[in-house]
Amino acid sequence: MADIAIFEDDAFSVPSLTAAINEQEYLPGRISSLGLFHEEGTTNLTVQVEKDGDTLALVPAGERGSSGLVVGGSKRNLIPFNTVHLPERFTIKADEIQGIRAFGTRTELQSVQDVVNRRLAKARRQLDATHEFQRMGALNGQILDADGKTVLLDIYKSFGVNRQKMPMGLNDPEADLRVNAGEALDMQADALGSVTSSGSRAFCGKNFWNKLVSHKSVKQTYLNTLQAASLRGDARESFEFGGIVWERYRGKVAGVLFVHDDKALLVPEGVPDLYISVFAPADYMETVNTEGLPYYSKLEPLPFNKGVAGEAQSNPLHLCTRPRAQILLEL
């Protein structure tokens, strides 16, 4: 039978557990699966961001006493952002491993590792869901806490820019949505400046989506074409119209919708470093001054050696570097 002392094995050290949780199966999230966000690690808890007009860039860390980044021009300034600490705890009681028996060629260590990995997998899924929530918050301009109300970061306020909005005219059956879509793309292109994108995608709320797919101009565009199947099939699937890929986005946390029912969020795709996810190191002695990883995990004994307490954590900062390129489309 396995003994509680088995957790003293190097297989349960911080590096081993951190590697294990980073190798856990990925939980698909629509924003994450699209690959919009570029991920990188940092050795600092605070990330300095340089703002030049509507353009933002990460500032590299330097040695103490050395010269820093040269910032020229009166329009540039540095804005500090703190990474968000996302810890969660789990407990593995002694009773859960005392009854483990080695079976076949499996060792007691392998069996205990299975117990730990199941807990890590659950913790990883919850952290993945939180990253999806915060990344969608970056697209919306406000990153909220788990309660769906507390604002952790207001991107537009921090950078002193206003959110661009545009009515699509969905309540007018005679409106030419193709023309309106073109105007929205022009607004986006102006915000991107000289930077080009590979395309644009609109995440639609429920009511916005229903009015879009049933609008006269959309129906006429797809009438008698092979693409008409896109409208005859599942009404939740994405389709292209007016140079934009439209899709219904379904997601909410604590009753707060990621995308408002009556709105759509138009974002550019294929723009280098437009969306970034920076990960700071964990608050463990073993990870001080190391480059941050997306996930960390650690175990420690419970009082009276009745089991082990585990922690999984992530320390992200999700940002949009050109927030005015995100156009809020209204009915």
* 250 lies in the same domain as 284: no
Do strands 239-241 and 316-320 pair parallel, antiparallel, or not at all (unpaired)? Answer: unpaired
Q: What is the pLDDT of residues 5-54, one digit of tens each?
A: 888 889 899 999 999 999 987 666 889 888 899 999 999 888 887 766 55
Report the 10 Å Cβ neighbour count for 34. Answer: 15
In tens, the pLDDT along 145-159 reads: 888 889 999 999 988
**pLDDT surpasses 80 at 183:** yes
pLDDT attached to residue 263: 96
Q: Are residues 201 and 257 in the same domain?
A: yes
Identify whether residues 231 and 170 lie together within a single domain.
yes
Q: Is position 65 within any domain?
A: no
pLDDT category of residue 66 using cuts at 50, 70 and 90: very low
Give yes or no: residues 308 and 193 share one domain: no
Does one domain contain both 169 and 103? no
- Taking alpha carbons only, the member of 96, 140, 95, 87 closest to residue 116 is 96
* Cβ atoms within 10 Å, residue 170: 24
Range of the domain at 215: 165-271+326-330
Q: What is the CA radius of gyration of the chain?
A: 24
Cβ burial of 173 (10 Å; 0-12, 13-18, 19+) is exposed
* Whole-number Å distance between alpha carbons of 131 and 86: 10
* pLDDT at site 67: 46
Q: Would you say residue 294 lies in a domain?
A: yes
Residue 279 and residue 267 share a domain: no
Lowest mean pLDDT among 69-83, 127-141, 185-199, 313-327: 69-83
3-state secondary structure of 212: helix
What is the Cα–Cα distance from 276 to 283, expressed in whole angstroms?
Answer: 22
On whether residue 158 sits in a domain, the answer given is: no
| CATH number of the domain that residue 219 is part of | 3.30.1930
Quick one: 214 and 123 in the same domain? no
Tell me, yes or no, whether 218 and 313 share the same domain. Answer: no
pLDDT number for residue 71? 47
Q: Mind listing the pLDDT tens digit for each residue in 230-243?
A: 555 554 578 899 99
pLDDT at 270 over 80: yes
**pTM higher than the cut 0.75:** yes
Instruction: Classify residue 125 as exposed, middle or buried by CB count within 10 Å of its CB (0-12, 13-18, 19+).
Output: middle
The number of distinct structural domains making up the chain is 2
CA–CA distance, 212 with 40 (Å, rounded to integer): 37
φ, ψ at 188 (rounded to 5°): -65, -45
> In terms of DSSP H, where are the helices of the chain?
14-22, 30-33, 94-98, 108-140, 155-159, 177-192, 206-213, 216-222, 229-232
Question: pLDDT-derived band of residue 204, with 50, 70 and 90 as boundaries?
Answer: very high
Dihedral over Cα of 133, 135, 138, 139: its sign: negative
